[in-house]
């Protein structure tokens, strides 16, 4: 097993559990669009992919409708939803361990960078990360592969084989493959074992503790 030096983390479903904030904000946006969805569990599919992808694929919205829906979503998310969020158990300990062991850490998320930065600060994790990278507010650079490419450019002096992406959805794994870097799929988030396996994750772990054990074995 080779040694890595830069670890990229997805945010939603990997660092923290954002279910309540995201699903309630989607529910709010849909209501504004005249769509009633009472069951928040039905909106879990919005956790992970870019919002415009989900609004298009799940509700068949066109570009104009998607723009309106995202604006409504942000009305609630900025005020309330961002903070209806909780860290996964032992995440802080894992980040501390990796930092002390000499790893450089980055966030690679499809969420807008400005929101990701605020969430990381809300949890007092900003001192662990060398870079927080996400999409732009105009929805450009929202595909996970594009975000990872941006992170790669930031660490352009590091050999590509020393980067690894950690995430809970197929988008994280596919984005890593597009950038020719290894990946770890985590099943404690919102992607299933089948999803991560089919996406060809290099490794799969079931808990934050297993993640730390994985890096322990590299030493």
Given 10, 17, 168, 172, the catalytic residue? 10
Q: How far is CA 35 from CA 30, 38, 203, in A?
A: 5, 10, 39
- For residue 184, the cross-strand partners are 166, 203
Clarify whether 10 is annotated catalytic: yes
CA dihedral 167, 114, 143, 81 (to 10 degrees): 70
> Active-site residue numbers?
10
């Amino acid at each position: 097993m080779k040694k890595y030096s830069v670890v990229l983390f997805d945010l939603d479903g990997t660092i923290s559990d954002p279910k309540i904030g995201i699903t309630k904000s989607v529910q709010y946006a849909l209501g504004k669009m005249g769509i009633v969805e009472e069951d928040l569990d039905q909106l879990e599919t919005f956790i992970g992919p870019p919002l415009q992808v989900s609004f298009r694929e799940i509700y068949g919205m066109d570009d104009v409708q998607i723009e309106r829906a995202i604006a409504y979503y942000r009305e609630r998310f900025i005020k309330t939803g961002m903070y209806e969020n909780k860290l996964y158990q032992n995440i802080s300990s894992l980040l501390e361990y990796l930092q002390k062991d000499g790893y450089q850490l980055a966030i690679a998320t499809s969420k807008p960078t400005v929101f990701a930065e605020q969430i990381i600060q809300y949890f007092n994790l900003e001192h662990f990360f060398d870079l927080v990278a996400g999409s732009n507010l105009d929805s450009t650079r929202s595909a996970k592969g594009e975000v990872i490419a941006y992170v790669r450019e930031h660490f352009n002096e590091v050999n590509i084989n020393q980067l690894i992406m950690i995430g809970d959805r197929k988008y994280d794994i596919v984005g890593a493959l597009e950038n020719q870097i290894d990946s770890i799929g985590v099943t404690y988030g919102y992607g299933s074992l089948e999803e991560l396996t089919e996406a060809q994750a290099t490794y799969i772990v079931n808990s934050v503790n297993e993640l730390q054990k994985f890096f322990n074995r590299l030493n």
